[in-house]
Amino acid sequence: MITKYVSMTEDNIDAKAIEDAGEILKAGGLVAFPTETVYGLGGDALNPKSSMKIYAAKGRPSDNPLIVHICRLEDTERIAASVPESYYKLAKAFWPGPMTIILNKSDIVPIETTGGLGTVAIRFPSNRIAHALIEAGGGFIAAPSANRSGRPSPTLAKYCREDLDGRVEMIIDGGQVAIGVESSIIDLTEERPVILRPGYITEEMFDNVLGNVDIDRTIIAPDSKIKPKAPGMKYRHYAPKGDLKIVAGPQGKVVDYINKAVAEASEKGEKTGIICTDETRALYRADSIKSAGTRTDEESIAKELFRVLREFDDEQVTVMYSESFDKSGIGMAVMNRLMKAAGQQVIDLSK
Ligand code: TXA
Ligand code: MG
């Protein structure tokens, strides 16, 4: 298959290209497109064959359900068996935007799309290119992140090309995404709402709208033996090809530890990398030193983290150390992804 490339901006949408993309989706083909969180790999959510193609293109296990993207709130009623009041409260507060809600599915949603589950994940993204595409494609677009399974989610179209060239009909380049980590997922099918994946919408923000929400324990204690409720959270995601460890504790101790560990690894012939922040960058020595952003702006770190992980792969770095980041706000999502990338390896120097 030859992948077609188009590019546009949210302020200058190429109507003809969107129309073409909509035709591809309606015919059962696949289109990668930007959203405000990460790039998505879109297919018609109501067509079981499209969902099967998504799993194949990503190399993703087909028990890992897809998120259905909508562009009109009222369309919820077509894909959900029933819609609780809490859904509309959350929609009013955070949609269009970086939130995904789980409801019980209606019959028109094929189990291929939901990975065999009786529930459906619904998201109404704010990116205007995504919005136009969903509308052109028939209103219900299944879209996981547009990476090959196991790789970091793409925050730039060039990473979609790296992973999916020749595997999808079209890739829409809409520039760098605004947020950089995937949507927050909240499950409304249980007695109490449960956060299944942390993202830009934080536990505190959910609490403010719904009162007390629970958080899936596997997010907080990832090494526990409990099975995560979002099937995708069980996979070792975002894993760089080299070995990554996180070092936590007071800044001076962390810098000394990392520099020493990197020097030792270098001596053994490893190619070394460090993930740090603008504040500490000048303090390190390694083959590749990358700042993910500034500690005064946690959102800058969210935006760059996946790019940094991919660049280490491109540079064939074999041993990496990362500083640890504050878990407040979007930091919870950043640390959740970083911990997965590190296979939960943390060196804690705080005691
Ligand atoms: O920001 C995002 O959510 C991006 C953009 C493209 O919208 N999409 C995304 O999709 O991150 P994906 O497939 O990479 O991650 C979806 C996660 C997986 O962990 C999956 O297991 C979970 O959502 N999920 C989907 N449907 C579910 C369901 N019915 N019940 C529980 N978890 C579900
Ligand atoms: Mg993903």
Give the distance (Å) from ligand 1 centre to CA of residue 235. 12
Give the distance (Å) from ligand 1 centre to CA of residue 350. 34
Give the distance (Å) from ligand 2 centre to CA of residue 77. 26
Which of 41, 38, 46 is CA-nearest to residue 56? 41
Give the distance (Å) from ligand 1 centre to CA of residue 182. 8
**What confidence score (pLDDT) does residue 230 get?**
77
DSSP 9: B
Nearest atom in ligand 1 to the alpha carbon of residue 153 is: 14
**What confidence score (pLDDT) does residue 226 get?**
72
For ligand 1, residues with CB inside 6 Å are 35, 37-38, 40, 64-67, 100, 102, 114, 117, 119-121, 123, 143-145, 182-183, 185, 196, 229-233
By most ligand atoms within 8 Å of CB, the mutation choice from 185, 187, 197 for ligand 1 is 185
DSSP 153: P
Question: DSSP string spanning 174-216?
Answer: --S-SS-SPPEEEE-SSSS-EEEE--SS-HHHHHHHHS--EE-
Ligand (nearest to CA of 142)? 1
Instruction: Output the CA angle 116-86-103, nearest 5 degrees.
Output: 5
The rounded distance, in Å, linking the Cα atoms of 180 and 300 is 9
Give the distance (Å) from ligand 2 centre to CA of residue 336. 13
Residue nearest to ligand 1 atom 3, measured at CA: 183
Ligand (nearest to CA of 183)? 1
Ligand (nearest to CA of 187)? 1
Which of 243, 248, 234 is CA-nearest to residue 326? 248
Domain boundaries, the chain: 4-215, 243-348
> In whole angstroms, what separates CA 229 from the centre of its chain?
16
Those residues whose C-beta lies under 8 Å from the C-beta of residue 260, and which sit 6 or more positions away, are: none
pLDDT averaged per 10 residues, the chain (length 351): 98 98 98 98 98 96 94 98 98 98 98 97 98 98 95 96 98 98 97 96 97 85 69 72 96 97 98 97 98 92 95 96 94 94 94 81
CB of 315 closer than 8 Å to CB of 273 = yes
Tell whether the torsion through CA atoms of 117, 103, 180 and 18 is positive or negative: positive
**What confidence score (pLDDT) does residue 221 get?**
66
| CA distance from start to end of the chain | 55
By most ligand atoms within 8 Å of CB, the mutation choice from 182, 234, 236, 303 for ligand 1 is 182
Give the distance (Å) from ligand 1 centre to CA of residue 237. 13
Q: The CATH number of 243-348 is which of 3.50.30.50, 3.40.50.11030, 3.30.1150.10, 3.40.50.2300?
A: 3.40.50.11030
CB of 196 closer than 8 Å to CB of 185 = yes
Ligand (nearest to CA of 100)? 1
CB of 323 closer than 8 Å to CB of 275 = yes
Query: What are residue 29's phi and psi, to 5 degrees?
Result: -90, 180
The CATH code of domain 4-215 reads 3.90.870.10
Do the first three CATH levels of 4-215 and 243-348 match, i.e. the same topology?
no
Nearest atom in ligand 1 to the alpha carbon of residue 117 is: 29
Give the distance (Å) from ligand 2 centre to CA of residue 318. 24
